[in-house]
Amino acid sequence: MFIGRIVSIHIASAASAPTQSLDVAQAIPGKGLKGDRYFQENGTYSNRPGPDREITLIEIEAIEALENELQIKLNPGDTRRNLVTRGVALNHLVGKEFLVGDVRLKGIRLCEPCSHLASLTQPDVLPALIHRGGLRAQILTKGFIQVGDIIKE
Tell me what the pLDDT averaged over the chain comes to.
89
The CATH number covering residue 31 comes to: 2.40.33.20
C-alpha dihedral sign at 64, 65, 67, 72 = negative
Mention every residue, 6+ apart, whose C-beta is less than 8 A from residue 75. none
DSSP state of 8: E
What stretch of H or E contains 137?
Answer: strand 135-139
DSSP state of 18: P
Residue 61's domain comprises 3-152
For residue 112, the model assigns a pLDDT of 79
Tell how strand 97-100 and strand 83-86 pair up. Answer: unpaired
Count of structural domains within the chain: 1
3-class DSSP assignment, residue 31: coil
Model confidence pLDDT, tens digit, residues 1-36: 789 999 999 999 988 888 999 999 999 999 999 999
CB 128 within 8 A of CB 70: yes
What is the rounded distance in angstroms from the CA atom of residue 105 to the CA atom of residue 79? 20
pTM for this structure? 0.90
